[in-house]
Structure 1
């Protein structure tokens, strides 16, 4: 038996090098196609992030401090009957957590938080501004501060 490969005819000629402008144009078209698909993939994620900012919740105070009141400076205080009656705090916790949208409107548009007077709203916002990593509502507060819209 013969181990030599059968003759396949003449080798094809190598294509001439394309001009630099056509290579650049081709590359730009490929990059454009990739870029378009990336934009299409990112847009829904940004829309979802915007939706989550509006729906996230910030409890005041957090679950670990339930039953405590909020002082005018945003610190936690023991319950007091005279403070809310006189309008100076400490203020009772709101009946439900605030949404990111409510906090955003209060911080950047000057609106009161729902169900709160001006002074209690300012106390709640001071508490929210003092949130630290690991506390309930911290991630939502960060989203409100840095909206991706």
Structure 2
């Protein structure tokens, strides 16, 4: 049994008076339709990933400071310092929730159970996070456009 693709048309089905330009146009149209169909499939598969990212941005957590510095405190300028350093605060007892961080950074709310001074110091620490540090991915996802 011989299978043919949609581009393979037997000579009998092709009109005799069809110009070569018309045949090329038909093939180009078919190719464009295939590309369009592939593009639609890609959009369908990407969108759930975007929705998942929006949800995970609010449920992610940021340790302050990162776990390798768990015995350190946060100075009011966001630096990590030794315990009981002047103008520093004991770190939060658990990682900060992404939704709380978003609200604090966007609306100026304090973290539950912490003063506005502690919150300001923690936020300065978070804003200094760089690639490779714990919490950076969460912080970056909160900064992405569309995370209202």
TM-score under structure 1 length normalisation = 0.74
Superimposed CA distance per residue, residues 14-65 of structure 1 (whole angstroms, 9 cap, x where no aligned partner): 8234377766654544333222211111111101111221121110011111
Q: In the alignment, is residue 63 of structure 1 matched against residue 61 of structure 2?
A: no
Q: Note if 1:110 corresponds to 2:114.
A: no
Aligned to 2:90: 92
Decide whether the 8 Å contact of 1:49 with 1:148 is kept in 2: no
Deviation at 1:117, TM superposition (A): 1.2
What's the offset of the Cα at 1:67?
2.1
Task: Kindly indicate whether the alpha-carbon contact (under 8 Å) linking 1:128 and 1:141 is maintained by their aligned counterparts in 2.
Answer: yes
Task: Give 5+ residue unaligned stretches, structure 2.
Answer: 1-9
Gap regions ≥5 residues in structure 1: 1-10, 84-88
Matched residue, 2:136: 138
- The CA RMSD over aligned residues, in Å, is 2.6
Report the alpha carbon displacement of residue 132 of structure 1 after superposing the two structures with TM. 2.3
Equivalent residue of 1:70, what SS? strand
Larger radius of gyration: 1
How far off its partner does 1:119 sit?
Answer: 1.0
Q: Residue 80 in 1 paired to residue 84 in 2?
A: yes
- CA shift, 1:139, in A, is 1.6
Inter-CA distance 118–22: structure 2 relative to 1 (3 Å threshold): same
Q: What secondary structure is seen at the aligned counterpart in 1 of 2:84?
A: coil
Normalised by the length of structure 2, the TM-score is 0.74
Tell me: higher relative CO, structure 1 or 2? Use CA pairs within 8 A at least 6 residues apart: 1
Is the contact made by 1:74 and 1:123 (CA closer than 8 Å) also made in structure 2? yes
Contact 1:46/1:148 (8 A) holds in 2: no
